[in-house]
Structure 1
Amino acid sequence: MLKLCAAFLLLLLALCGAAWAADSYDGCKVYDINTRSVFEKELLLRLSQNADLDFFILPRSLDAASRVMVQPQDQQGFEQLLQKFDVDYVVVNEDLGVSLRQEQLENQSQRLMAQRSASRAISFTAFHRHAEINAYLDELAAAYPSRVSVQVAGKSYENRDIKTITISNGDGRSGKSVIFLDAGIHAREWIAHAGALYVIHQLVDNFAANSALLKNYDWVILPVVNPDGYEYSHTSNRMWRKTRKPVSSACYGTDGNRNFDYHWGEVGTSSDSCADTFKGETAFSEPETRLVRDLLLSLRSRGKFYLTLHSFGNYLLFPYGWTSALPVSWRDIDDVAQAGAAAIRAATGTKYTVGSSTNALYAAAGGSDDYAFAVADFPISITMELPAGGTGFNPTTAQILPYVQETWVGIKAMAQKVVDKY
């Protein structure tokens, strides 16, 4: 343990030079690290506390690989440390910047093709911008006025409209139970936004096949929680994760999924305003998280199922994120999550891991799922981590449709379980 601490401190010293300002990711390598012991996993956990290392995923299980992006100037020291402790690793991307530029060009081409040929503002052959997504919601409301309504739930820090779409079966009954789904708390997780849009498409355009899910339930869907960060990830920094409100002259943004006021600021968060897991200066410091809070609380008596879409890693996670202890009703949530995992595996063979956030993945306090469950009283609250694409957060355009189709299989099964039970 003394050797571990000494090596860790040496690496910290090696990495604490001038902040890396480039947004191109040229020369950045992405590593998969396969741990074989608790000691090795603890080493990675300590390394993940360094803001200069971007751990895309750090599973608790020894069987699951961790993935990390390392800047060019840090790669030699990082590899030397892993070699010193005989930690197995493989480079899965030699130059992330090259990959991201290629994918950006492909996405732009697919967006243009979709705009020329599609009847709607969005397709599932490209990742669409925030304005296009909002236009799509408005198109659906105009086309199906008896079943669809769109509201501006609030504004982002940079004054973008954050819209929700409410979908019903058009029978005019008020006071129905609600399934509330959101996506895009983390800006770079583009497949999550696409997943939410596909759910909307299925419930609205494919209503006949999914009418049972709307008989006694309304769905409220917020497809882009963090539009400022999402736009920034399109225009300036593809791997941007946080919101965009300035914290200091050097650092912008807060991790929205560490900003909710339930055990805020505890385990798995950072007080470093430059870190990707920065908890915020206060709980609900961000207009985007306050908006989600207000929606959740407004649905308190009707909300039965809260589902938040993220990526990546093939997980269905439930409370709690702040402790390894389980809620008294954990089996009820587990039953719903297991239904989703089983449906996906039967349909495509893809395996999802089910468990509480802390026990299956890692501890992270201040998350929206914990808040929805413990404060807003949603009996079922689940975080769905969609599959990786590319090196993790960057699926190709060809992967969008199969990924969102698979995701819908799981969401439909979970929703049906909720509808049958509540």
Structure 2
Amino acid sequence: MRSRSAPALLRAGLALGVTGLALSALTAPAATAQDRVLRADRAVTRACFDSPLPARTPGVDRREVTSGVDGLVQARLSPGTGAEGDWDLAVFDKATGAVVAASSALRSRELAESFVTKGQVLVVQGCRHTGPAKSAVLGVDFLALTPQGTPTGAERAEVVRVNTPEQKDKTALLGLDLDLTEKGDATGVEVVLAGDADRKVLRDSGLTYSTVDADLSRTSREHAARDREYAASRASTGLPSGRTSYRHLYEHDHELKELARANPKLVKAFTLAEPSVEGRDVVAVEIAENVENTHDGKPVNTVMGVHHAREWPAAEHATEWAYELVNGYKDKSLKSLVAKTRNVIVPIVNVDGFSISREAEPKGDFSRFDYEMKRKNCRASDSPPALGTGVCKANPGGSARGTDPNRNYAGFWGGAGASTSWSGETYRGSAPFSEPETRNIRKLVSERAVTNLITLHTYGNLVLRPPGVADVRAPLEEPVVKALGDRMASRNGYESIPSWGLYDTTGTTDDWSYWTTGGFGFTFEINPAGFHPAYENAVVAEYLGTAPAAGEGKGGNRAAFLDMLANAADPAAHGTLTGTAPKGYELKARKTFQTPTSPVRQPDGTTTPPIMVTETLESRHTAPGGRFSWSVNPSTRPYVAGRYGREPQAPPQSTITLVNPPGVPGENPSFPGDGTAEVIPFTVSGLPSADNGRFDVSVSWGSAATDWDLFVLNAAGETVAQSAAGGTNSERATLVDPPAGEYRAVLVNYSQADPANPDDWTAGKVEFASPVPPTYGVKEAYTVTCADKRGRLVGVTDVFVDRGQSVDVGALCTDSARATKQRR
């Protein structure tokens, strides 16, 4: 269990009581069923949250309520009788007209929730936005809350960089259950320490670290103030929407459905299959020519954001991309790419967590009760019973309660890089796909043959590609996947690396989607400064590629998204099925299989056997009549296709012994600024005499209280490998596929347990290993069927199709299909 401090939960805490709908006249009789029904004779398209509207305004019905508690108001809408339409909901402070809470999803199922004070008079406003429903049912509850903890600011949050030069160090860091960011590289990871308890955990681990931001709480407050000043100083920005500040959930949802309303042939807003734990709908848009023809056979490009609640820029970039496609299509700058593809955008996967984070009091102290910094969803059932009570926005478990959706997918679930503890920031959940957020994405990807997927996160300036675990080994397509990642990174200035290059992760979106479907999947870690830092940098500059973003002058994430879209449009990047079929006949490509998770790590450190997860991929194509072309993912999924490698062309080089020079250099904690060290040269051979797939330089000494650091430099003096752990009596530095040439092992005496009796290094050597040959697995087929307009099966065949391959299934829908079909 992660140890965290508990500063004050101002205006939040344990739920003590619930009151029903209270009309403004407190002495009036209890609310009746009639009071709860909102009615409007006609729909009016407006933003319900803009302002409280007068009674009898067309399209609006409202109630006044008074809070009898210091705590939370929860206002909900549910469908009335008859057909369901789209009603929105907003709660205002009557005295100021300021919006307190709002909800703008696509149906009449809304939840608006926020903090209120005793005696506060509220206007609860329902707006009939579109559709035939003339009524909706309103429910309003007040939850009394008791403050918890110590005063805000009693503890100081900070960001440190933990040194992890070897895989064992990353593994040790993951085991501490601290709040790891996604900013890191081969030798270190930035970590948030919420308070003194976290600092003690890290100190006691023996891992070394340096301070990056000594007062993250202050920095968070400064960013919030800067955002207010930025929005107040301008009417618009260069973003496709012109937006100047972070949106709320209700603003994202409203803007998506307004894009659809204004562009009905190009944009379709829709609700994902399952509501969240708290009952919120997840809103997405699809953008394509003739958008209602969902199964037209075009490749599907998907961008999604906010698996992690506090990562607000992820939602902003996704929503801006929706505007980009719409504006670009109108201006014809993107028309050809939009015409060749279908684009699905899900700005906010974790709607509960995001709403809580975005609406929370901006404390910035990273305590358990700092809901602004909540990462996970709102799952409560995995918490201890005493901490499983109360609503997600204010409960005794605080923001620590919930599951990390991006550790809950089946891909390698249960392995390294995910917490087994309910309170861990990377808690994996009780089982693969235990959460509605991941089941939503699973259904979307499995049923739409998503050929290209980007999932957006913060922070770290990274383009990550599968695999998430080094031991899995790269897929056979590693050169192709790497090239696409590198191309996108050339636009946003990020570093393109495999996910395990940051640290091991399991149960992630892109690992599951790629290994299961064969659709390309990448994770973007946006900006280098924080989870939701200054809007002008993390959103405006990063999206457009302007200063101070790393993509300045290169196009930024906008250009990277365009690269992914162009790849989706390219037939060489996916499979294609062709043939002939009568108009309106439905073709299906389907396969069902099982994939094992990782061996499942248990809280006590043991493992249990992998879980077999059944997956079904089924995409559809509605025949246009005559000849058809249908984009699909390769029939053979990467999980069984094989692993990347190369055949050895010669034996590996023999081991080299490193000779320790006489004497011991002085202690030097400042390398490379201070060059005091021992330098031992060695030579790496190449073909035809040796083919080295890797080398490992290792040294050891007597006591773990002594600390030597190891660096490997090439002939140009560049560091190509290093190992600088603490609390060990050895170091090992590795270089994969080393070029032939001259190298130097540099041994730095960082510190001695007893300087009067130096503990010198010994047993230095350079060991070489052969390249790992590629492995090749089985081929898998799709079962492709054809059904007539009455749903009767009229044709079936097995089809093998590779990436970049076009396979003709012939006249599959005719009686002679089995005899005449052609496959190539």
For Structure 1 versus Structure 2, the TM-score category normalised by the shorter chain is: 0.7 to 0.9
> In structure 2, the residue corresponding to 1:312 is in which secondary structure?
coil
Q: Structure 1 238/42 Cα, relative in aligned 2: closer, same or farther at 3 Å?
A: farther
Equivalent of 1:357 in 474, 479, 499:
499
Q: CA deviation at 1:197?
A: 1.2
What letter corresponds to residue 238 of structure 1 in structure 2? E
Equivalent of 2:524 in 372, 379, 384:
384
Report the equivalent of 2:467. 320
CA RMSD, aligned part only?
3.0
Report the equivalent of 2:251. 132
The yes-or-no answer on 1:298 pairing with 2:447 is: yes
The yes-or-no answer on 1:200 pairing with 2:338 is: no
> In structure 1, the residue corresponding to 2:410 is in which secondary structure?
coil
Distance 1:291 1:172 in 2: 20
Q: 1:1-400 to 2 correspondence within 5 Å?
A: 20=6, 22=8, 27-33=155-161, 35=163, 37-38=165-166, 42-43=168-169, 45-51=171-177, 53-57=178-182, 59-62=184-187, 65-74=188-197, 77=200, 87=208, 89-90=210-211, 92-107=212-227, 123-153=242-272, 154-170=274-290, 174-207=296-329, 208-236=332-360, 237-246=371-380, 247-248=382-383, 249=387, 250=397, 252-300=401-449, 303-324=450-471, 325-344=473-492, 350=493, 352-358=494-500, 360-375=501-516, 377-389=517-529, 392-399=530-537, 400=539
What letter corresponds to residue 54 of structure 1 in structure 2? D
Q: Structure 1 158/261 Cα, relative in aligned 2: closer, same or farther at 3 Å?
A: same
Distance 2:277 2:290 in 1: 34
Q: Structure 1 418/104 Cα, relative in aligned 2: closer, same or farther at 3 Å?
A: same
Bigger radius of gyration: 2
Q: Structure 1 403/368 Cα, relative in aligned 2: closer, same or farther at 3 Å?
A: same
Could you tell me which runs of 5 or more consecutive residues in structure 1 were left unpaired when the two chains were aligned. 1-11, 345-349
Report the equivalent of 1:419. 569
Distance 2:209 2:417 in 1: 25
What letter corresponds to residue 286 of structure 2 in structure 1? T
> In structure 1, the residue corresponding to 2:270 is in which secondary structure?
strand
What letter corresponds to residue 55 of structure 1 in structure 2? L
Contact 1:169 1:211 in 2 (8 A): no
Contact 1:178 1:219 in 2 (8 A): yes
TM (normalized to structure 1)?
Answer: 0.82
Report the equivalent of 2:578. none
Q: Structure 1 108/230 Cα, relative in aligned 2: closer, same or farther at 3 Å?
A: farther
Q: Deviations over 1:181-209 (max 9, x none)?
A: 11111111111111111211110122221
Distance 1:225 1:158 in 2: 14
> In structure 1, the residue corresponding to 2:372 is in which secondary structure?
coil
Equivalent of 1:410 in 560, 570, 581:
560
Q: CA deviation at 1:111?
A: 6.5
Distance 1:266 1:80 in 2: 25
Distance 2:202 2:514 in 1: 41
What letter corresponds to residue 220 of structure 1 in structure 2? V
Q: Structure 1 223/401 Cα, relative in aligned 2: closer, same or farther at 3 Å?
A: same
Q: CA deviation at 1:48?
A: 3.8
TM (normalized to structure 2)?
Answer: 0.44
Contact 2:155 2:195 in 1 (8 A): yes
Report the equivalent of 1:4. none
Q: Which moved more, 1:160-169 or 1:19-28?
A: 19-28
Q: Deviations over 1:82-131 (max 9, x none)?
A: 9x77x4513x33332233234335546766889x889x997532111111
Report the equivalent of 1:6. none
> In structure 1, the residue corresponding to 2:525 is in which secondary structure?
strand
Which structure features the higher share of helix residues? Answer: 1
Distance 2:350 2:443 in 1: 15
Contact 1:28 1:69 in 2 (8 A): no
> In structure 2, the residue corresponding to 1:333 is in which secondary structure?
helix
Q: Structure 1 157/408 Cα, relative in aligned 2: closer, same or farther at 3 Å?
A: same
Contact 1:177 1:304 in 2 (8 A): yes
Q: CA deviation at 1:318?
A: 1.5
Contact 1:339 1:417 in 2 (8 A): no
Q: CA deviation at 1:36?
A: 7.9
> In structure 1, the residue corresponding to 2:373 is in which secondary structure?
coil
Q: Structure 1 419/124 Cα, relative in aligned 2: closer, same or farther at 3 Å?
A: same
Contact 1:332 1:380 in 2 (8 A): no
Distance 1:308 1:298 in 2: 18
Q: Percent identity?
A: 24
Contact 1:317 1:355 in 2 (8 A): yes
Distance 1:58 1:172 in 2: 40
Distance 1:269 1:187 in 2: 17
Could you tell me which runs of 5 or more consecutive residues in structure 2 were left unpaired when the two chains were aligned. 10-151, 361-370, 388-396, 545-555, 574-824
Q: Deviations over 1:220-278 (max 9, x none)?
A: 11010001111111233222111012132235210101101222111111110000010
